Amino acid sequence: MNTIYILWLRQLKRYFRSKSRIIGSLAQPLLFLVALGFGFGPIYEKAGGGSYIQFIAPGIIAMSILFSSIFFGIEIIWDKQFGFLKETLVAPVSRFNIMIGRTMGGATAATIQGIIVLALSIAIGFRPENWVYIGVAIIFMFIIAVLFTALGTAIASKMEDMHGFQLIINFLIMPLFFLSGALFPLQGLPKTITIIAAINPLSYGVDALRGTLLNTAHFGIALDFVVLTSVTMIIFVIGSYLFSKIEI
């Protein structure tokens, strides 16, 4: 447990030590909120959808968590290249515990970023329907963060090049985000898009945040929780296995 706590704390310190990283990671969500929220707002209202800021904010919160958490995997490649990972792996502790500590630290940092984006959303006009469920929304943020931190770790465990990692992640996260219903309703979509959204784990994360913050879940909060936790456990097991096979 001490190993897990130390690695968890180390990941948090790394995150908060880089002020430019924090500011840079908040710039894109803020841009999406302002540019899309107010830009498409009048069109969305004329179409009978109500406030687009209300609709888009949970999706942008999920986006910020997705981008932040999955890129924690690049730290594994960085540590590989500079020898820091070797120092950790040769320690007389379980690699599974190392995986837990790193993942929990990255997920906690990503969740904090999601909370900051939620605060920014409220500042520019977003109003949760269920303030008492903010705590439940934060739990879902954390589950999303654990899922994609573990995914980033799994991918990074098999790679040696940071540039290659970034290319693969960009190829992966953009479809995950744009086909999750973060920017558009999932009702009435073409069948192909509906199927893709249904097998996209981020869709259930976005839906869970809308359900807890706005009471408008498409799949249902219970199903969102079951799918997210199931996929998270599967990806975590895969990530742990691949991490345990890293050669030093």
Q: For residues 116 and 26, is the Cβ–Cβ distance under 8 A?
A: yes
DSSP assignment letter at 187? T
Q: At what angle do helices 201-214 and 162-178 cross, to 10 degrees?
A: 50
- Joined together, the tokens standing for residue 191 give 């069948």
Q: What is the pLDDT of residue 90?
A: 62
Largest CA distance in the chain: 63
Q: Which residue has the tokens 């949970």?
A: 58
C-alpha span between 156 and 78 (Å, rounded): 10
C-alpha span between 138 and 135 (Å, rounded): 5
Q: For residues 110 and 149, is the Cβ–Cβ distance under 8 A?
A: yes
Q: What is the pLDDT of residue 154?
A: 85
Q: Along the 248 residues of the chain, how does pLDDT read in single tens digits?
A: 566 666 667 666 666 666 666 676 778 888 888 888 888 777 777 776 678 888 999 999 999 999 888 877 777 777 666 656 666 666 666 777 777 888 888 889 899 999 999 999 999 888 998 888 999 999 999 999 999 999 988 888 777 777 777 788 778 888 899 999 888 888 888 899 899 999 999 999 999 999 999 988 889 999 999 999 999 999 989 988 887 776 66
Q: Where are the alpha helices (DSSP H) in the chain?
A: 2-17, 19-31, 37-39, 41-46, 52-70, 74-82, 84-89, 95-123, 134-157, 162-178, 191-199, 201-214, 221-244
Q: Which amino acid is at 87?
A: E
Range of the domain at 170: 2-244
- Number of domains forming the structure of the chain: 1
Mark 52-64 as b/e (b = at least 16 C-beta within 10 Å): bbbbbbbbbbbbb
C-alpha span between 15 and 23 (Å, rounded): 11
Q: Note every long-range contact of 131-136, with CB atoms under 8 Å and residues 24 or more positions apart, other chains counting.
A: 133/212, 133/213, 134/212, 134/213, 136/212
Non-local (6+) Cβ contacts of 155 within 8 A are 73, 165, 168, 169
Q: Which amino acid is at 107?
A: A
- Joined together, the tokens standing for residue 152 give 């980033």
Q: What is the pLDDT of residue 111?
A: 93
Q: What is the pLDDT of residue 81?
A: 65
